Amino acid sequence: MRGRPIIQWILFLGLWICLVVPIVLVTRGGRTIQTLQGPDNTAVPTWVSLHFSAEPSYFELLQHDQVLWREDPASGVEFDKSFPVSMDEFGAEFVLKSRLPGAGVLEIIIEPDEQQERSRTLWVNGEVHETLTFSWSRDD
């Protein structure tokens, strides 16, 4: 080898360290997200409102495979209820199951305590099994 081998080895190792640092930072971030989703969930009092275009035969609102609200049989087209909802720093996810007599529209409105309301409108045809995700930013 020509030149100074010790300097070449130091430059070679420096280059590899520069490549390893971003990889370690990215993979460590994945573990941080997994730990944030588990123990940081908190129960927040939440007002939930469901509006159907036609009277459903039933509906269920689930979160983490637990039934939060069930009306079976359901009478009417507008339903309101307040109950605690498990939320993390990103928001909340629900599963809505229902059955309408035909094609129609349903709207779900979620308003956690001290947060702005969020809503979703679904156009459905009979059976409904929909996963709904609601999120709030730090500025809301």
pLDDT in tens, 43-56: 889 999 999 999 99
Query: What CA–CA distance (Å, rounded) separates 30 from 3?
Result: 43
pLDDT band at 140; cut points 50, 70, 90 = low
Number of CB atoms found within 10 A of residue 73's CB: 8
Q: What is the pLDDT of residue 30?
A: 53
Mean pLDDT for the stretch of residues 94-115: 92
Task: Provide CATH code, domain 42-135.
Answer: 2.60.60
CA 135 to chain centre: 6
Domain spans of the chain, in order of start: 1-37, 42-135
Residue type, 62: L
Number of CB atoms found within 10 A of residue 57's CB: 13
Mean pLDDT for the stretch of residues 49-75: 91
pLDDT tens string 15-44: 888 888 888 878 775 544 443 344 567 888
